[in-house]
Structure 1
Amino acid sequence: MQQKPTKVMALYNKVTRLPFGQKIFSIMVSRMAPYFGTIRPLITELRPNYCQCFIKKRKAVHNHIQTVHVIAICNGLEMAMGVMAEASIPSHLRWIPKGMSVDYTAKAGSDIRCVAEVTPEQWVEGDLLVPVTAYDDNNVIVVKGHIKLWISAKPAK
C-alpha cells in the first residue's frame, strides 16, 4: 500500500516543476534550518528514502589546504539525511538525530555530492543508522559514515 507523500515530498514535487525549482526548494529548506545555508546546498535529487545534496567547492567552505572542509561536508550529509527523513518517514512516526559517525577517506578537492539512503523497511521505532556518503567529482568517496536517528511514535492528539 502506497502512503500519501509527506509535506516535504509534495513540496519538492511541486516546486521542482518550476524553473530553478531545485534551487528554490534548497533555499526553502535552508530557511527552515538556517545553518544549512552556510554551505549553499542544492538538493539535486529527492525521492522517498533517498536524497542527494550538492556542495560547490568555494572559498567559504575551504579548509587551510583549500579543500572542502569536512565540517561543511558533514553539514551537507546532515541536510541530505534530514530532507530524506522528512520526505520518507511514515506519518505515524517522528525522528530526531542522536549522533553522527564519519570517516574521512580522501581529500575533498572538488564539488561534493552528499547522499543519504535507507530502505522503507528501516522506518520502525528505535535506533536507525542512516548511511551517508560524500563523493567528489570523480565519484571517489571522500567521507563515509552514518547518522543515528531515534525513531518513535508520534504522541496521540
Structure 2
Amino acid sequence: MPSVLTLWHTLDKLPRGERLFSFAFARKAPYFATIRPRFTVIEPNRAELVIPKRRRVHNHLGTVHAIALCNGLEAAMGALAEVTIPADKRWIPKGMTVAYTAKATSDITCIAETDPAQWSPDVLPDDGAELPVRVRGVRDDGAIVIDGEIRLWVTPRKR
C-alpha cells in the first residue's frame, strides 16, 4: 500500500485526522499550504479536498482566485496519483488544461478522478505514457466553477 494511502487510513481514524493529514501533505509540497487544503476523500482513482474561501485566496472580485483553484486541483491530482500508480511506475505533471465556468463564491471542493483501466500495464508501456486525470472544482451549491484535465507523464521507476 502506498505511503500516502497508509498515512490517510491511519490519520483518518483520529479526531481531526483529515486536518492532520492535510497539514502533513502540505508540508511535503509546501506551496499547497497556501490554499490550506482539507482532504476529504483519498482512494485509488479518486481524491477530493476542500479549499476554504478566505481572504488569503481571494482575487480582486472577492472570489477564490483562479490560481488557487488550479493549486487545489493539482493537490487532489497528486494525492490520487500517489495512491493509484503501480509500484513500478512514477509520475510527473506534464500539463493542465482548465476552463473557468462560474464564480468561485464559496468553499470549493476539488475533485480528481481516473478510471482503473488507465493504470493498467497495457496502457502504460515501459517507454512512458501520458495519462489524463479529470479534475473539477465545485461550489457549495453544486455548480462547477472549474473543469479540466491534468496530464501526467508516467514512466518506469528507476531501480
Residue in 2 aligned with 1:107? 103
* Deviation for aligned residue 1:13: 0.3
Aligned residues: CA RMSD: 0.7
| Partner-residue secondary structure (3-state), 1:63 | coil
1:134 and 2:137 are equivalent in the alignment? yes
After TM superposition, the runs of 4+ consecutive aligned structure 1 residues lying more than 4 A away are none
| Partner-residue secondary structure (3-state), 1:77 | helix
Which of 22, 25, 29 pairs up with 2:21?
25
Residue in 1 aligned with 2:155? 152
What are the Cα deviations for residues 46-83 of structure 1, in whole angstroms up to 9, with x where unaligned? Answer: 11110001001010000001000010010000000001
Aligned length: 152
Distance in 2 between residues matched to 1:76 and 1:122, nearest whole Å: 22
What are the Cα deviations for residues 82-132 of structure 1, in whole angstroms up to 9, with x where unaligned? Answer: 011001111011000011110000011111000001012112240011110
| Partner-residue secondary structure (3-state), 2:151 | strand
Residue in 2 aligned with 1:15? 11
1:116 and 2:119 are equivalent in the alignment? no
1:43-122 matches, within 5 Å, as 43-122=39-118
Unaligned runs of 5+ in 1: none
Distance in 2 between residues matched to 1:93 and 1:21, nearest whole Å: 29
* Deviation for aligned residue 1:155: 1.7
Q: Which amino acid aligns with 1:129?
A: P
1:37 and 2:33 are equivalent in the alignment? yes
State the TM-score, normalized to the length of structure 2.
Answer: 0.94
* Deviation for aligned residue 1:7: 1.1
